[in-house]
Amino acid sequence: MSAYVNTQAVAPDTTVPKSQPAIRFTDLRSSGEPFAWILGGALALGCIMIVSFLAMVFWNGATTFVPKEIQVVTMSNGAMTAGEATRTELYRPQVLDFQKLTPTQQNIITENDGFASRTLYRVGNFDIYNEDYRWISDFEVTKIEAPKDILLAERVEWGPLIGTLKSITVDGEIILLNSVNDKRFANIHDVSRERRERMSEIEKDEIGGINHQIEQLRLNVRRVELAEGLNSEAFAKAQMTLEAQVGGLQEKYKKLADEVLQLRDLNKRNTATFVEIGRQEKIVQMDALVRIYPANDLDVFGAIGVYLSRWWEFVSDEPREANTEGGILPAIFGTAAMTLMMVVAVAPFGIITALYLREYAKQGRLVSFVRISVNNLAGVPSIVYGVFGLGFFAYVLGGSIDQLFYPERLPNPTFGTGGLLWASLTLALLTVPVVIVATEEALSAVPRSMREGSLACGASKWQTIKYIVLPRALPGIMTGIILAMARGAGEVAPLMLVGVVKLAPELPIDGFFPFVHLERSFMHLGFHIYDVGFQSRNAEAGKPMVFVTTMLLIGLIFALNITAIVVRNRLKQKFKGSQF
């Protein structure tokens, strides 16, 4: 018996397993995404830095004129100090000072790891304390108060005065007052300020006009002397005319001087007596008080009134107290006038040069060399332009003008020294490379087909440039002018050599021919910031003025630039869609 054997073959499993999808790795560098993130991050960081800087400037500048509370600080040794708290910081007391402290004070410092906190107070009363600011350590303070009757008086000289009002003296009569809100105080103050303004008007305008006339007569005699000689008949006649007219002018001068003395004597009889926190009395003439208010007893409208009056004084008055107080009207006018004159000078030269290089000059090595030189000029330090402006414009060109037209004034220079005109031309040289490059780029952006179409219609090359190329390149040209304005308005180094000064309260415009005096020195906001921030007797006193002046300079540049941008955008809209 044989066993049954299953001979049916079993088919092997031939199913092909499904293949897994291949994983592909893409290098991000091939698509440039890491660089996009880096560039975007750099742009964001730059924007944050710019916005932060502007926010810091505008916050500090806008809050400079806000009236602050006056605190009366009583210290452990019994001394009292009154002032505005400006800032607080941590510091480490020196060993010798630490040993002089009481055990309680030493324990406070030891618990804070050897550091102590102190506050800087603006105490005013410089003529009493010989200091504007005073540091007070917190561990020395036993009590801080804010009395309602304490006053802050801003003065023409010696800075602010902090104290309480005791009395006023009117024409020798003492009147006891304890408030500046009394109508008698306000009336006497207004009368005294009007007298002071009248004295200033007489001294600057009327006496200044007489001095100008006498000087012109003297110069006329000197001019005749140079032309005809000392022994000539013309010189004798001019000398007689001088003596006759000067006599009448001196009579007018004497009357005006007597009026000034009379007004000054009247103002000396109107005074206010203040008592500072140390019980020391201070007598101040009423006309010397610019502004006075109860710092701790102001309502909202009173604080707004003080704030706005300070701003008005800032933009409409002359500086005082080494430029740390008062207004900056001369600096505003000087900056705006110099910038506009610079644009008037740089625009024609820059545009004409770019037109010749792009439209007329035969392209070659010489033109390439000129373009390279123009680009290199943009990198020359600004102080080099100042040296050139002083040497060429002031000494060479200005000296020649003095020799030809003002010989009677020599050796005193007229145009042979720094002034508004030479400063504007110096900055025009500094910014002309920017205008040339921008204008060339704008001209090259005008399609060639427009030029060919105009020439094919029979227009000449100049007619094509005037009516076709230049109008369509104007937006780009305006961009170059905007950049030039922004750079020129903020330059300081070259101006220090060619006309800018620390203090020039008189504007270069007056009622004497030629009415606009471009040869005069002037003030500039940029130099004003440098002077107040680094050259004032007290850096802390100048710091608020630095921020508010910086804010004003940024605002002025913004206003000039936004005007140019509006003009540029209108030009763009005018020729939009005319490209082919």
Concatenating the DSSP letter of every residue in 39-76 gives: HHHHHHHHHHHHHHHHHHHHHHHHTTTS--PEEEEEET
Answer yes or no: do 399 and 439 share one domain: yes
Token pair listed for 284: 């101040």
Answer yes or no: do 309 and 358 share one domain: no
Asked, for residue 34, whether it belongs to a domain, the answer is: no
Write the pLDDT tens digit of every residue in 223-277: 988 888 888 888 888 888 888 888 889 999 999 999 999 999 999 999 999 999 8
Look at strands 80-91 and 116-122 and give their pairing.
antiparallel
Answer yes or no: do 96 and 131 share one domain: yes
Write the pLDDT tens digit of every residue in 289-299: 999 999 999 99
Residue 168, number of CB atoms within 10 A of its CB: 21
Nearest to 548 by CA among 332, 338, 348: 332
Answer yes or no: do 446 and 507 share one domain: yes
Asked if residue 350 lies in contact with residue 378, where contact means CB atoms within 8 angstroms, the answer is no
Bridge partners of 293, per DSSP, are 152
Answer yes or no: do 452 and 532 share one domain: yes
Q: Name the stretches of the chain with pLDDT < 50.
A: 1-11, 579-580
Asked, for residue 300, whether it belongs to a domain, the answer is: yes
Asked, for residue 128, whether it belongs to a domain, the answer is: yes
CA distance 184 to 161: 21
Answer yes or no: do 442 and 499 share one domain: yes
Nearest to 324 by CA among 152, 537, 134, 82: 537
| pLDDT score at 30 | 58
- Read out DSSP for 408-429? GGTTS-SSSS--HHHHHHHHHH
Asked, for residue 5, whether it belongs to a domain, the answer is: no
Asked if residue 134 lies in contact with residue 81, where contact means CB atoms within 8 angstroms, the answer is yes
| pLDDT score at 3 | 46
| pLDDT score at 5 | 45
Asked, for residue 47, whether it belongs to a domain, the answer is: no
Answer yes or no: do 544 and 523 share one domain: yes
Domain count, the chain: 3
Asked if residue 267 lies in contact with residue 192, where contact means CB atoms within 8 angstroms, the answer is yes
Residues in the chain: 580
Answer yes or no: do 194 and 226 share one domain: yes
Asked, for residue 343, whether it belongs to a domain, the answer is: yes
Asked, for residue 8, whether it belongs to a domain, the answer is: no
Asked if residue 129 lies in contact with residue 123, where contact means CB atoms within 8 angstroms, the answer is yes
Asked, for residue 460, whether it belongs to a domain, the answer is: yes
CATH code for position 441: 1.10.3720.10
CA distance 424 to 339: 7
Answer yes or no: do 407 and 482 share one domain: yes
Answer yes or no: do 104 and 197 share one domain: no
Rounded to 10 deg, the angle between the 207-228 and 233-268 helix axes is 160
Asked if residue 167 lies in contact with residue 174, where contact means CB atoms within 8 angstroms, the answer is yes
| pLDDT score at 94 | 83
* Alpha-carbon separation of residue 129 from 124, 126, 134, 160 (angstroms): 8, 5, 10, 12
Its domain, for residue 74, covers 55-163+288-316
Answer yes or no: do 146 and 210 share one domain: no
* Residue 132, helix vs strand vs coil: coil
CA distance 105 to 138: 10
Look at strands 319-320 and 325-326 and give their pairing.
antiparallel
CA distance 351 to 480: 10
List CB contacts of 538: < 8 A, sequence separation 6 or more: 132, 133, 324
Question: For every residue of 425-456, which 3-state class applies, written as one string?
Answer: HHHHHHHHHHHHHHHHHHHHHCCHHHHHHHHH
Answer yes or no: do 524 and 568 share one domain: yes
